[in-house]
Amino acid sequence: MECPKCGSSQVKRLPPSQISPHPGYQCGECGIKMRSSGMLFVYLLTLLIGIAIGAVMVYMLIEEDGGNRPFQAAWLGAAGLIVAGYSVMQIARPVPRPQPKTDEVE
């Protein structure tokens, strides 16, 4: 794999973290972090979940008399915001390019 920023082939897979078992890759030369190419669907799904949680918060505040329980709605909204923000950060990361084949024909 190659880094899309500097073109280096020193791309290493990151170890699993507490948040994700597939955190992606990091370039050994420029240090940029990249997401795994197959994880776009997962991050789009978590973005939709975060937006849905935020929509439930707005619904609770407006329709379900959330004025009596504003902290409950605020916790739900904060969780949705965190999930959506994490997803957007991961989607914005570049994907490592496959290394070109160097087949020399003589």
Model confidence pLDDT, tens digit, residues 40-70? 898 899 999 988 988 888 787 777 665 666 7
Cα 52 to chain centroid, rounded: 17
pTM over 0.75: no
User: Helix (H) and strand (E) counts for the chain?
Assistant: 2, 3
Q: Phi/psi at 88 (nearest 5 deg)?
A: -65, -40
pLDDT(89) > 60: yes
The count of residues in the chain is: 106
Tell me the C-alpha distance between 97 and 90, whole Å.
16
